[in-house]
Chains A and B, each alone.
Chain A
Amino acid sequence: MHWEMVMGLEVHLQLATHSKIFSSSSTQFGAEVNTHTNPLDMALPGTLPVLNHEAVTLAIVFGLGIGAEIGKISRFDRKNYFYPDLPKGYQISQFFEPIVKEGIFDVPLEDGSTFSVRILRAHLEEDAGKSVHDAIPAHTGIDLNRAGTPLLEVVTEPDFRTAEQVIAYLKALHALVTYLGISDGNMSEGSMRCDVNISLRPKGESAYGTRTELKNINSFRFIERAIHVESQRQQDLLEAGQTVTQETRLFDPDRDETRAMRSKEVANDYRYFPDPDLLPIVIDDATIEDIRASLPELPMAKRLRYTEALGLSNYDANLLTQDRATAEFFEVVAKTSENPKSAANWVLGDVSAALNKEGISMSDAALSAIDLATLIVRIDDNTLSSKMAKDVFDALWQGETDVDSIIDRKGLKQVSDSGALEVIIDALISENAAQVEQYRVADEGKQKKLIGFFVGQAMKASKGQANPQLLNQLLKEKLG
């Protein structure tokens, strides 16, 4: 039998606010345990939540970014359950009326086509703290630094059929939120956490099978692997005539397997009800329009502009728009050099390779876009050969600035003066009479090789500074 995978995603995005969603404590990652906490974060009696409106603005920015409807009135609800890292015994979330309602998110695929994901909702909620198992011998400690960090939970319809679609969606979502500046998207620090709901059904069947939920997988690679492993497990069960149990499962990358987390998951009753401590969030049209006007150009619009106005390939446009820093760097280079294609090649080629080598991202690079643009201009005006350009680029990457002074200092100027080149060529011809003779009687193939020989010699004589195109052309004339 052929099986079809059906998946829906829940992604928790940590919003890039300075303070927590209901308290004034800092949200900075990596502080000493329980230092970013105040009486509210510890749920001391009598404390009350006060909404951080920065979180609301970021949620609206997200909603507009995916073209979703913004809930004019949304509310907070209490989700009740006991757990040591949940100080109040309930999580403040939005269950009945989320701030972001339905929307469609177009995810670009490598072939230039798009894949539309239906977003069901996105709602604001507070993060829990963390259990710390290794700090106190034989005890579990609780760190409440993260408790109350604002999250936006983005829930999709079950629209995914392949792991590739899932990864493409997550990458596009990551690009979108980092573009919009609403989350740092740092997966290793938990700023973007993904739950995958996955089930199988016979191909052609319309009813869904029983799903499992893969929780909190925090890298693209692991998500892809977890989907593969879990779908295989479900397929094996189904083909053996057994059933899939609805449950939450964890992916263990070391053992390359998923295993059940809480088998009684279905029995949980969170007893949601409206939180009487918080007023409804009321958003008027003017606020929405103000926020809309402040939005940067979105990745999808950028991709379209890169392919249509700048003439880039879909593939390049895709890569360039995966993060905002790269796109913005590219745009400065393209505009200043007036050569978008060359700008794209440099950014995706040498710049990207250098970044990878150092393991840093575009936003951390010291390289100036203006310098790179000048470099391209100097290639285009024949000052630099492509080989010289690589030398200049290396110097720039090492921290030097000002392309023209690098060229001067390294004496890298390309010789494009035909008079000067003719002197070199004439000398070569007289010194290498035998080769000149061979050239004149050789077939086309042989001639090419001999031209190569002369170019090499001329380059040597010009200390590598001869313009190769001009050299080729002059040689052909002289030898011809």
Chain B
Amino acid sequence: MLRSPSIRILSYVILLFLAGTMIIPLWTVVATAFSTKFGSLQAGINLWPNPISFEGFDTLFRRLNFVLPFANTLYVTVVGTVAHVLLSALGGYVLIQEDLPGRKIIAGVILLTLTIPTQVILVPLFVVFKQFMLLNTLLSLIVSELVSAFSILLMKTYFEQVPKSMVESARIDGAGHFKLLKDFYLPLALPGVVTVAAFQIVHKYNLFIEPLLFINDPQKITLQIALQSVIQGESSTSTNDFIAPNVTMAAIVVALVPLLIFYPFMQKYLIRGLTVGGVKE
């Protein structure tokens, strides 16, 4: 695009620097995680553990309860994402029905929800979840963002690209709404469905404010909260059993593994999803 060599060099410098701020810290996390307790406490540049040790992971799984939070997060992520995708698809489907009286009003109400961010209504949200008796349940984490305007609008954008003629002939043959959705819109707009699902998986996996607000019961704790308490060293009980950096970093590595498995498959959709939303403006 641009021709001068100085710009090309500058481009590499900028990108190498930015990529470096991602890769190097992540690398040191892994290096620290595989260090011994003693090794992880050493000052200096620790780029390769010497000796390599699984002490951190051992402590993490033997002394701290890290499996239960993982299972809880998995449950919330799977159930929450399935429910979110289905409801968003329903919403998108209704919004593309051009001859539906009141469609503009429905769309307006959905858009209006964008002006109420969770962080602004933390306290009333707590009160309302208490009224619905959802406090201290994993259900509360599935209910929060059960459906969102963002996902509904994304689904709508993708559904609009499904050729009307294909759907019309099926409709004339007497196919109902659910059949149209199941046999036409969902399969034909699959990239959109996967995009919404991918974003929701990341969102549910990373949930932090909601479990912080709604969950007190140690049995219902989720991964990010467990991770936070390991990082802040709250779970340490006695002084000679304090949590060394190798344990904290091992916890981060464990929390990163599902994302790293999931990322290569979903990257295409995660990136495309952004630009679909962005380019529409």
Q: Do A and B actually bind?
A: no
Q: Which residues does A use to contact B, with CB under 8 Å?
A: none
